[in-house]
Structure formats: structure tokens, C-alpha cells
Amino acid sequence: MKILLTGGAGYIGSHTALVLLEAGYEVVALDNLVNSSAESVVRVDKLTGGSVQLVVGDLSDQGLVESALRDGVDAVIHFAGLKAVGESIAQPLRYFSNNVSGSLSLLRAMDATGVRTLAFSSSATVYGEVERLPITEDMPLCAANPYGRTKQQIEQILVDLAGSDDRWHIALLRYFNPVGAHRSGRIGEDPHGVPNNLMPFVAQVAVGRREKLVIYGTDYPTPDGTCIRDYVHVMDLARGHLAALEALPDWPGAHAWNLGTGRGASVWEVLRAFERAVGHDLAHQVGPRRPGDAPVSYADTSRAASDLSWSATHSLDDMCADHWRWQQDNPDGYPG
Ligand code: NAD
Ligand code: UFG
């Protein structure tokens, strides 16, 4: 089986490429490298002894995507997209164009070449503020920012597409908060500029690239006053894609699955766990709330467990230890 990973040089894509190669799949990565480095693919090859075929190009280049698909591809995992919430508020046209129009172009290429099996990188952000917890897949979708709305719109397009033609088999994989790295420390998350997300920021404080963590609010209605999220190890997430690919032949249509641990951790708990990994305290201060943050978010993962036979196995301490190993060994991320 040959799988095309759009965005395959990125954080989650590179870890998934590794898991797929280890499981005996052939992997083609199509990436314009706007938020990644070709070095990640080189390192995946070294770690696995395999070979990812890297196609440097854009999702919107339908001819290029079609020629990649015609080269024996059986299924697509669609990671490619822009993902910074703040940037999406400042540049909505860029986000809708890259994420939504880019996905339409990919889908046209898939339809034209008869490759109709797809796993899509969606996000827990599509749920917005929820009325009850844990979050189940049947809850209404109400994304609260342009980035989230691109995910919600792409999901809707995929549902309509699958409704029009039962040859499509589509997984809408709603990731909660991916963190961590491959335990070798050779591949990991390499955010450009100031990290928006908690764990990469804490990791950069630990390695001396940032002065201190600002905790965005300690007056939330949670046990310790900080927001709670469902952090999931990127290697568990990568295995989730393998599980979805293996299950999809039995699932015509479009189906949503939450990928998380089902457990929440607060900002304080993440900071303390990272300090345990590093072996000393990390500089931090309490700041005001970040607008738009939901107080609590964690997944009901029972659907993925029963339908995909998948569940996360790594603890928060594993996530911090692996994230820290990557950051310590690559303080400035990938070279170049
Ligand atoms: P990432 O930025 O590391 O990977 C995305 C990759 O897509 C990058 O390598 C980028 O260069 C590439 N890309 C972007 N636009 C492209 C285009 N038009 N053509 C070709 N390549 C393009 O991000 P990631 O964390 O690996 O996320 C992967 C996917 O998962 C994204 O769609 C993201 O929205 C989604 N997601 C991520 C998170 C998270 O917290 N990391 C959470 C939920 C969902
Ligand atoms: N936080 C801080 N300080 C920081 C960064 C974050 O206190 O410097 C706090 C946030 O306020 C939040 C928690 O840490 O309470 C987690 O924040 P993240 O940004 O890491 O995660 P979010 O759940 O807020 O959002 C992320 C992505 C979304 C995505 C969502 C679910 O930014 O795009 O995960 O996948 F949709």
C-alpha cells in the first residue's frame, strides 16, 4: 500500500510517516515546506531505514497532486494546512484559500484519479465552547475562529462529498492537543517564531530560548484555576492514523473520530510535569486570560477505541520527557 501524506514534512506528518514506514507502507510526502523542513523527512528515512518520497509542491497544484496520485497511491492522509489561530484572525483570506481551496483542489485530484480513501486532520477546535464533557463526536460544531472554521468547512465538504458518492471512505480525525516527539529525539515539533502553544513554549523556556512562561489566567472554574486540555502524544496520534487507514475499507461515507487520551491536564500540571522532565523549576508568571480559550476540553475516546481499536498509551510524563529530549538535542529545531 502506498499512502500520500500532504503536509508530510510537518510535525504530525513526519511522525506518521515513520509509523507507516515501520508498518510496511510506502510513503509519499507532498509539502510546500511553508512551515517545515525537508530535514524531517531525511531523519525519518534514517530512523526507519526506509525511504519517504518527498514531492516539494503546493496542494493547489492539481496537476502535480494528480501525477503523485497516479503513481500507485492507494489512500491520502491530508495534514497540509496553516494552523496558527492568531494568524488566521489577521489573515483570514490566506487561511481560507490555503486550507479550504487547497483541500478542494486535492479532492478534485483524488476524484480524477479514483483515489477515494482519505483521513483528514481535523481538530477539537471545531467543537468551540461545549456544554458538557467529555466531548463526543456528535456534539454540534461551532468553531470560534477562522482557523477552526476552515476545519469545520472542510469537514462539511467531505461529508457532502461522501454523501454524493459511496465510493468515498473518509475519516475526520479530530485531534485534541498533540505534544511530544519520537523517543529518539531526532524528529519533533519545530515551530517558526514564537510558539503559540503551551508545551513548545515551555520547552523553549527550558532550553533558554524564552525567558519565562506566561500562564494565561488562573481564575478559570477548574480545580487549580488554569485551563484543562487533553494532551496526546504525537506517536499515539501517528498510530491513530495507521488505525484509521486500516479500518477505513469497512467505513464507506465520512465519519468523525476524536483522537485524545480522554484525560485532561491543567496548565499548572503541564508545567510541573515538564519541570520533572527537565529536573528543575522553570521561570513563569501569571498573566491575564488569552481571549477565546475554553476553560476545559477533553475527549470522549470511546468511539475511536471501539471502531478503530485505537487508544492512547503514553502518559503526560512520557510526553514531556520525549518533547524535552527533542528540544534539548535540537535547541534551534531543524538546521537551516
Ligand atoms: P505543521 O505545520 O507542522 O504541518 C503542516 C504541513 O503542511 C507543513 O509541513 C506545511 O509546510 C504544509 N503545508 C501547509 N500548507 C500547504 C500547502 N498549501 N501545500 C503543501 N503543503 C502545505 O502542523 P502539524 O502540527 O503537523 O499539523 C498537521 C495538521 O493537523 C494541520 O492540518 C493542523 O491544522 C492539524 N492539527 C494540528 C494540531 C496541533 O496542535 N499540532 C491540532 C489539531 C489539528
Ligand atoms: N497557555 C499558556 N501560556 C502559553 C500558551 C498557552 O498559559 O504561552 C495555555 C492556554 O491559555 C491554554 C493552554 O495553555 O489554556 C493550552 O494552550 P494551547 O495553545 O497549547 O492549546 P489550545 O487547546 O488552546 O489550542 C490548540 C491549538 C488549536 C487547536 C487546539 C485543539 O492552538 O488550534 O489546540 O487541537 F484547535
For the chain, the domains span: 2-181+231-261
pLDDT at 55: 98
Atom of ligand 2 nearest to the CA of 148: 36
* CB 35 less than 6 A from any atom of ligand 1: yes
| Residue of 290, 297, 319, 320 with the most ligand 2 atoms within 8 Å of its CB, for mutation | 290
pLDDT at 250: 98
What's the whole-number mean pLDDT along residues 276-305?
Answer: 97
- CA dihedral of 15, 19, 24, 26, whole degrees rounded to 10: -20
> In the beta sheet, which residues pair with residue 26?
2
pLDDT at 319 over 90: yes
| 170 — pLDDT class (breaks 50, 70, 90) | very high
User: How far apart are alpha carbons 89 and 120 in whole angstroms?
Assistant: 22
Peptide bond into 134 cis (omega under 30): yes
241 Cα distance to chain centroid: 11
Backbone angles phi, psi at 299, to 5 degrees: -90, 150
Q: How many helices (H) and strands (E) would you count in the chain? A: 12, 13
- Give yes or no for a contact between 294 and 142, defined as CB atoms under 8 angstroms apart: no
User: How far apart are alpha carbons 286 and 305 in whole angstroms?
Assistant: 37
Atom of ligand 2 nearest to the CA of 290: 11
pLDDT at 61 over 80: yes
Backbone angles phi, psi at 83, to 5 degrees: -135, 10
User: How far apart are alpha carbons 291 and 312 in whole angstroms?
Assistant: 30
User: How far apart are alpha carbons 239 and 23 in whole angstroms?
Assistant: 10
DSSP 193: S
pLDDT at 227 over 80: yes
pLDDT at 150: 98
> In the beta sheet, which residues pair with residue 253?
169
What's the whole-number mean pLDDT along residues 285-313?
Answer: 97
Ligand 2: residues with CB < 6 A are: 83, 85, 123-125, 147, 175-177, 196-198, 201, 213-216, 227, 229, 267, 290, 293
In one-letter notation, the amino acid at residue 140 is P
- For domain 2-181+231-261, the CATH class is alpha beta
Nearest ligand to residue 211 Cα = 2
Q: What is the mean pLDDT of the chain?
A: 97
Nearest to 169 by CA among 103, 64, 74, 70: 74
Nearest to 123 by CA among 237, 259, 6, 14: 259
- Give yes or no for a contact between 39 and 335, defined as CB atoms under 8 angstroms apart: yes
DSSP 188: -
> In the beta sheet, which residues pair with residue 219?
none
Atom of ligand 2 nearest to the CA of 85: 33
Distances (CA, A) of 187 to 37, 150, 242, 298: 11, 27, 19, 26
Phi-psi sector, 137: left (phi>0), alpha (psi -120 to 50), beta:
alpha
Residues in the chain: 336
Which pLDDT tens digit goes with each residue over 84-131? Answer: 999 999 999 999 999 999 999 999 999 999 999 999 999 999 999 899
Angle between helices 102-113 and 146-164 (to 10 degrees): 20
Dihedral sign of CA atoms 60, 103, 71, 8 in order: positive
In one-letter notation, the amino acid at residue 151 is K
Nearest ligand to residue 4 Cα = 1
Residue identifier of the C-alpha nearest atom 4 of ligand 2: 198
Dihedral sign of CA atoms 172, 177, 183, 185 in order: positive
pLDDT at 336 over 80: no
Q: How many angstroms does the Cα of residue 218 sit away from the middle of ligand 1? A: 30
User: How far apart are alpha carbons 148 and 162 in whole angstroms?
Assistant: 21
| Residue of 95, 293, 316, 319 with the most ligand 2 atoms within 8 Å of its CB, for mutation | 293
